[in-house]
Amino acid sequence: MWRSDRWHRRLAGMKARFTNDEGQALIEYALVLALIAIVTIAALEALGGDISGLLHRVGSQMASVSNP
């Protein structure tokens, strides 16, 4: 009987360990944040030259405007 009790306690402990989801939300937020970072980096790499050219043109046009 004593071994059976010990076995049941071990099973209950393992079940509690695997059903504990306290850190699950934190991990999900971290994964979403990582995905957003990867997509942002990929978009900036793909559009980097276009954005640089656009900012250069805007800067040139702003430099030619005189403030009263």
What's residue 35's pLDDT?
Answer: 96
Q: Which residue has the tokens 């030259």?
A: 49
For the whole model, what pTM was predicted?
Answer: 0.47
Kindly report, residue by residue over 21-54, the tens digit of the pLDDT. Answer: 666 788 889 999 999 999 999 988 888 888 888 8
The pLDDT tens digits for 3-26 are 677 777 888 877 776 666 666 788
Q: What is the pLDDT of residue 2?
A: 55
pLDDT computed for residue 22 by the predictor: 67
Element containing residue 66 per DSSP (H, E): none
Q: Locate tokens 């059976």: which residue?
A: 4
Give residues with Cβ within 8 angstroms of 51, minimum separation 6.
44
Tokens 């850190």 locate to: 23
Domain boundaries, the chain: 23-68
